[in-house]
Amino acid sequence: MNNSIVPLQGELLLATQLELVTPTTMAGTFYGVAFTLFCLYVHSLVPQLQDEDRKRRAKFMFGYTVVIMLCGLYDLVANTWIIQDAYIKHGDYFGGPYLYLQSSFHTGVMAVMSVCQMAVDILTSTIQAKIWRVWVIWSATRYAKLVIVLPSLCILVFAVLTLKTIILATTLSVAENIRLGTKTQLVQQAIQVVITILCTMLISLYLVYQHLWQRNLLGKANGSAGYLKIVAMLIESYSLESIWILMRVILYPHLVSVAFLEGGTYIQIIAYLLVQYRVASGKAYESQRGRRTVSSLRWNHSNHATTTQVANLEINETDGGPHMSESTKREGSEALPVISMA
């Protein structure tokens, strides 16, 4: 027996156990859930791939999502290989395999894995994700450029901090990295939560406003309840990601935060695919007249129908003001603004 082996106990034992389970068993389970959603999403894209008008954008969305899935897959495979190497080949390392993992962070495999994690963070927060949806939805108003400023600045700061974290982790020793990088990582995670919550709020506020506006204009039977369904979809999908990241920030000083850190990438992919699948399958919107699928590839092709609805107002001089006929209400309910969520 090697007498130089330090017995694992206390916090070191807990860290060693968590480091073995979270990047392998837990991460594999989460990626399995993400892969299932990915398969459902691809199946929902098939009709769009067969449609000449929507094929090009559907191919882009498919390729975009494949890149995210490949980054997540590399993260899972690399983590599994690193854990196997540490726990099997270097189990007798002074301080155990956990300390070996900390001392070997500068290796090329882990550096590429960090880049893949950054790619997932940015891809699920920008193009065809949170910030892009904010732009598309608010683009029908004059406030679009103003609204998009803060989320764009947040994602820019987040990208810079992520690059700083990768550079510190791959060039400094573990002790120096902990001393210099802890605050940066906390700020980075806080900004990630802000991006998710801010974009969800901006989209939700606009959709709720449109719902109330349509209701006041056309009455209760106006078909705008689909807006609230989209809001519910966004909250359901992104609340999971927000809560997960918040728990990671709150528990950051404790070893149990390792579980939230290792699973964060896969939770982001799951939240992203939840939205993409429900949009592509038409579950993000149902009118009160029955199931009505509004393709995610056509939701941004509307001028919000404001002109049509206002033009259809029938002025009744004898009644002392404007009112709307039943036929106009029916036409207006079918001409609701359509929103791009893809």
Decide: pTM greater than 0.85: no
d(CA 138, CA 49): 28
pLDDT value for 284:
56
Q: Note whether 316 and 322 are within 8 A (CB).
A: yes
Residue entry with tokens 């206390």: 10
The DSSP code sequence of 87-154 is IIISTTSTTHHHHHHHHTTTSHHHHHHHHHHHHHHHHTTSTTSHHHHHHHHHTTSTTHHHHHHHHHHH
Q: Note whether 316 and 323 are within 8 A (CB).
A: yes
Mean pLDDT per block of 10 residues along the chain (342 residues) reads: 56 79 91 95 90 87 93 92 84 75 70 86 73 84 88 88 81 69 80 85 85 76 65 78 83 79 89 87 52 37 40 38 45 44 50
d(CA 144, CA 153): 15
Tokens of 75: 């993260």
Q: How far is CA 322 from CA 21, 97, 213, 333, in A?
A: 67, 76, 16, 18
Q: Which residues pair with 314 in a beta bridge?
A: 323
Q: Which residues contact 328 (CB under 8 A, 6 or more apart)?
A: 312, 313, 314
Backbone angles phi, psi at 322, to 5 degrees: -75, 145
pLDDT value for 114:
82
If 0-12 CB within 10 Å is exposed, 13-18 middle and 19+ buried, where does residue 245 land?
Answer: buried
Tokens of 173: 């020793």
Q: Where are the alpha helices (DSSP H) in the chain?
A: 10-21, 27-49, 55-84, 96-103, 108-123, 130-138, 144-171, 174-218, 225-250, 257-280, 306-311, 326-333
Q: Note whether 57 and 45 are within 8 A (CB).
A: no
Tell me how far the alpha carbon of residue 274 is from its chain's centroid: 9
Among candidates 115, 249, 146, 260, which has minimal Cα distance to 189? 249
Three-state secondary-structure class, residue 75? helix
Tell me how far the alpha carbon of residue 337 is from its chain's centroid: 24
Tokens of 161: 């901090």
Tokens of 271: 């939240």
Tell me how far the alpha carbon of residue 193 is from its chain's centroid: 10
pLDDT value for 166:
80
